[in-house]
Every structure is written in structure tokens, then in C-alpha cells.
Amino acid sequence: MIFTPSPMLLKLLYTRGSLRNTPNGVAFSIKNRLDTVRFTRLDYVQINEEHITPEHIALDLGDGDIRPAPDVLSRTPGGLEFLVGHSITFYLTTAALTEGIHGVQVQFAAEPFGDLHVEVEDSIVNQSTNRTRIPRQDADDYSEAAIQERQRFAEQYTEQEFKHLKHYSFDPHMLQGNCEHFVGVAQIPVGLAGPLTVHGEHAQGDFLIPMATTEGTLVASYNRGMQVLNLCGGVKCTVIGDAMQRAPVFVFDDARGARDFSKWVEAEIDAIRQEAESTSRIAKLQYIDTYLATKFAYLRFNYSTGDAAGQNMVGRATFAACSWILENYKGPAIRHFYLESNFATDKKASQINVMRTRGKRVVAEAVIKRDILHQRMRVTPEQLAYHGQVSNVGAFISGANNNGAHSANGITAMFIATGQDVANVSESSAGVLYTEVTKEGDLYMNITIPSLIVATHGGGTGLATQNECLRMLGCVGRGTVNKFAEIVAGVVLAGELSLGAAISSSDWVSSHEQYGRNR
């Protein structure tokens, strides 16, 4: 990856709030939010008007490894590797700073970027020294000693004994990047439903479905719907869209400046795509949607991300693309820039995701035979279709993002079991349910999930029990994410069928009584 970070982006390297006094002077941190580089030269640091040269600076490279800056850089061939996502703390031998706002400048060089200059303001505040802190160990915070220290701390602080929380069956070191301050596990029951017969383009066959839940009747209800679908030949599932977004915003002096900028972006899409895709072998920029409001230009970058959900991947790609934009756009001045404008609606339900897709857009459909529906669910196709019309009105006047019954139930249970980011249920819960009575008198049922955010690689999918559940589904390895999406959609349709029939036939309350929900 080679792009020139603009001054606006270079400000983001500095970790705001890191400025502090030390026994020997002052310290602050910078974090590499661009890409892995080699830190080749440090020219100076300036605090307010004081110019501080490298011989008065030490660098903390992590894990307590603090060395004089000239030694670090002169004795490292080709420069110090500075990994993306990592931080370096600068320790300056200088007078302590007073409380208030101070100017900080850092002049340095990094390959492949060349000379870089960071200039920001930060503040010194009086912080209490008697705050209660959760124990952690810099050297290895996932060691048994570190974990047991936190467990003792939690028991002493709360005056409670934890017998179950502390027991787990995997090496805690595998949690790096997934959970900080690890203290134990939440044991969530996993039930089995199915097998479910899926006729997808990627998922084909019978699948045993792991569902992690504490809600009585949930597994039984989904299992009932799967049995009925199987008796009718299974469920047909199709992935019809795939896009993951990051949505930066550019602020101008007036609306005309925003409009002109949007036209320039449209004309430069090929160059922008090249910059974005230079950060990853996987992320591919499909298109950019532009939305103008007041004097703001919102750009919605849409990517495909392989088997990963991709939020971090597309953030990095969009960061590189926007750096190129900020450096190369010569039109009306860009006054402010934010990498995320809230327009990607990450971890939030939104109408734009229903319309434009976020994650996988996937459809599950089936024809349920009249006799099987009547025998197994005690309802007719006409009853369910009419019930759907009534429910449509209720969903419409309530402003819900789903006109079905409970797709979030099945999605959440599968997300927890398979290591998905459960907060993505916010977007993934959206659904468009459609039913009709066929000319043969059977029930056609279809649900479109417009923003199903799933992964079979990265995140929590590689953790111990989560990976086992994905292996149960045959969804481990390259090229399996669409298979997983189709299975999830089929499960959702089974749940819609089961609960819809239960409400229509008035079995809903009695089922909860039978399985203990109302005890």
C-alpha cells in the first residue's frame, strides 16, 4: 500500500488524552492507524515552544521495553517495524507541564510514506490516584496468574464466590483480539434443532442446527418448523446481495462545494478503488453511493469482504481511500472529515440497510403443503396468509424493521453458538416476510433478510466452542460464508412458520407453559 497521509489524517495518529506528566518529564502516545510501516527517523518533538531533540526522548515499544530513541532507530536495519494497530509511547526528558491545553508536534519519517508531521493539541488534567483498577499484566494478560488475580479481585470486590464463571476448557491466549480483562466464561445452553434440509446454491443437504439460548420453547419451536419444511421438501435459499459499508462524511462551506465534490468522486472512482483495495487481498470496492444534505457529502463505500464480516477491513480500506481523496481533491476546501458518519449504521437497524443491503441479502422460501400444515400446525394456508396481512398493518403502524414474527430469535441463537458479533443482530433482525395461497391451495412462504452480517473467518469464529458449532454446519474454511448465510435464512423461515402457526392456532401461550417459559 502506498498513499500519502494528509495532515487531517495524520492528526488521528496521536492518541488524544495520552499526554501526561512522568517522574522525569512528559509522555504521550501515537497509534498506527494507517498501515504497517517502518519508523526510520525521529527529527524532534515540540511541546508548546520547547524543541526536544531525539537524545532527550525514549520510546516504549510495548511490554515495558523502553529504550533511547537514537539507539532504537540507529541499530534497527531499515527502521523499526511499526505494525498497524500498535502504539509507541514517547518519554520526554523535560519540565513537567501545567494543567491545561498544550500543543504537541512530532516530526518523523516512515517508509513508505516518507516525512510525516503530526500537530495536535492535548491537555493535562488532574487525575485521581485512588481509582479502583481491574488488575492486568503487561507482559502476558492471558496467563493463568493474570486471570486468577482478576478472579480474586472480582470476588473480593463484590464479596461473592464464583464457582462456575472461572471454569473453561481452552487456552485463554486464543482470546487475544476477542476479549480484554478475561476472567471466565458465560455458559450458555446450546440446543440442537433439525436436521434442516436446505436447497441453496452454497448450502445443499441436511444440517444439524446449534442454537445457544436461555429462552424456553425457542429450540423446540424452530425444530417444529424445520420438521414441517422437511416434510414439504425443504427450504430453498439464495444469496442475492453482498455489501459491507464504511460511510465517511466530508464537510464544506456550502452545499455547492459538497455537490461539486460528489461529482469529482464519481469521476475518480477507479483511482479511489485502487487506493482502497491496496490495503487488502480480500476487500473489493464495488461502488460508492453519494448522499448530499446541507453542506455535507456522505459517501457510502460498499465492499465485498470474503468470508469475514469485514467491518474492520472496510474501515482500513476506506481510510486509505479517503487519505488519497484529501490529498488529491483540489476543489472547494474540505473543512472537516470523519471516517464514519453514522451513515453505514453499524450495529443499528436502518431503512437504508433494508433498501441497499448490509452484509448478505439472502432469501429463504418454501411451499408448505395444505395437508401437512393442517396436520402438523393445526392451521390452514388461508389462516396464515390472512394473519400475515393483519400483522403487516401492525408492523407498519409501529415502525418495525420486520413484518415477521421473530427472526432475531433464531439469528441471535445461531450467532452466539457460532461466534458472530452478536451486536450485528441490530441490522440482521430486519426482515420482509411474504405469504400467499397458491392455486393448488398450499402456502407459499418467503422471507428476505436484507442485512445479515455473518462470517466464517475472523472475529470469534475461531474460538473453541464457536468453531465446533461452525464445523457442525460444515462452515469452516475458505468460501463458506454464503453457505452459512443460506443456512441461517432457512432457520429463520422455519421459525417464522412455527411461531406464525402457533399464534394463529392459539397454541402460543400453551407451548410456553409446556416448556417452562411461564413457570
Please report which helix (H) or strand (E) contains residue 134, including its range.
Answer: none
Average pLDDT over residues 260-281: 94
Q: What is the pLDDT of residue 5?
A: 61
Domain count, the chain: 4
Q: How far apart are CA 24 and CA 91, in angstroms?
A: 8
The answer as to whether 350 is a domain residue is no
- Whether 162 and 285 share a structural domain: no
pLDDT for residue 77 is more than 80? no
Statement to judge: residues 435 and 453 lie in one domain:
yes
In the numeric block, which cell numbers belong to residue 119?
A: 500537530
Has residue 420 been placed in a domain?
A: yes
What's the CA gap between 39 and 90, in Å, rounded? 13
Distance CA 485, CA 108 (A): 46
Single residue among 97, 124, 151 that ends a domain in this structure: 124
309 and 253, same domain (yes or no): yes
For the stretch 278-294, pLDDT in tens is 888 899 999 999 999 99
d(Cα 452, Cα 178) in Å, to the nearest integer?
21
Can you give the CATH number for the domain in which 364 is found?
A: 3.90.770.10
**What are the distances in angstroms from CA 237 to CA 201, 331, 429?**
7, 47, 17
Whole-number Cα distances in Å, 98 to 16, 20, 131, 388, 467:
17, 10, 22, 67, 52
In eight-state DSSP terms, residue 14 is: B
Does some domain include residue 352? no
Quickly state the pLDDT bin for 514 (edges 50, 70, 90): low
Residues 283 and 422 reside in one and the same domain: no
Q: What is the mean pLDDT of residues 8-24?
A: 81
CA distances from 456 to 194, 463, 473 (A): 21, 11, 11
At 229 the pLDDT is 97
Is the per-residue pLDDT at 455 higher than 50? Answer: yes
- Averaged over 392-408, what is the pLDDT? 92
Query: What amino acid occupies position 154?
Result: A
Same domain, 265 and 146: no
pLDDT digits (tens, 9 = 90+) for 224-266: 999 999 999 999 999 999 999 999 999 999 999 999 999 999 9
Q: Are residues 307 and 393 in the same domain?
A: no
Confidence of residue 519 (pLDDT cuts 50, 70, 90): low
Confidence label for 7 from pLDDT (cuts 50, 70 and 90): low
370 and 492, same domain (yes or no): yes
For the chain, what percent of residues have pLDDT higher than 90? 69
pLDDT for position 9: 65
Average pLDDT over residues 188-203: 96
For residue 256, the domain's CATH number is 3.30.70.420
3-state class of 144 per DSSP?
Answer: helix
What share of the chain in percent tops pLDDT 70?
93
**Within a domain: residue 129?**
no
Q: What does the pLDDT average to over 24-42?
A: 83
List, for residues 307-343, the tens digit of each pLDDT value. Answer: 998 888 999 899 889 989 998 999 999 999 999 999 9
Residue 19 has pLDDT above 60, yes or no: yes
Note if 43 is an active site residue. Answer: no
In a domain, 252, yes or no: yes
Residues 236 and 288 placed together within one structural domain of the fold: no
Closest CA to 208 of 181, 190, 232: 190
What's the pLDDT score for residue 38?
A: 82
Helix (H, G, I), strand (E, B) or coil at 25: strand
Query: Where does a domain end: 75, 104, 124?
Result: 124
440 is catalytic: no
- Average pLDDT of span 93-101: 91
| φ/ψ (deg, to 5) at 381 | -55, -40
Residue 61 sits in the same domain as residue 195: no
Give 509's pLDDT tier (boundaries 50, 70, 90): very low
pLDDT for 1: 43
For residues 188-211, average pLDDT:
96
Q: Residues 57, 67: contact at Cβ < 8 Å?
A: no
pLDDT given for residue 488 in this prediction: 98
Q: What is the pLDDT of residue 515?
A: 57
Q: What is the CATH number of the domain that holds 73?
A: 2.60.40
Question: pTM of the entire structure?
Answer: 0.84
pLDDT digits (tens, 9 = 90+) for 336-364: 999 999 999 989 999 999 999 999 999 99
Residue 346 belongs to some domain of the structure: no
- 436 and 473 share one domain: yes
Alpha-carbon distance of 255 to 359, in angstroms, equals 31
The answer to whether the Cα torsion of 173, 176, 181, 183 is positive or negative is negative
Residue 482 has pLDDT above 70, yes or no: yes
pLDDT at 295 over 70: yes
Q: State whether 364 and 484 are in the same domain.
A: yes
pLDDT of 506 over the 90 cut: no
Say if residue 63's pLDDT is above 80. no
Tell me whether residue 349 is in a domain. no
Q: Which is higher by pLDDT, 140 or 367?
A: 367
Catalytic residue among 215, 260, 340, 468: 215
Give residue 102's domain range: 7-124
> Would residue 421 show up in a list of annotated catalytic residues for this protein?
yes
Do 379 and 414 belong to one domain? yes
Kindly give, in sequence order, each residue whose CB lies less than 8 Å from that of residue 288, ignoring residues fewer than 6 positions away: 265, 266, 269, 272, 299, 300, 301, 302
Return the pLDDT at 6.
63
Annotated active-site residue in 242, 421, 427, 496: 421
Inter-CA distances, 271 with 215, 251, 339, Å: 51, 21, 18
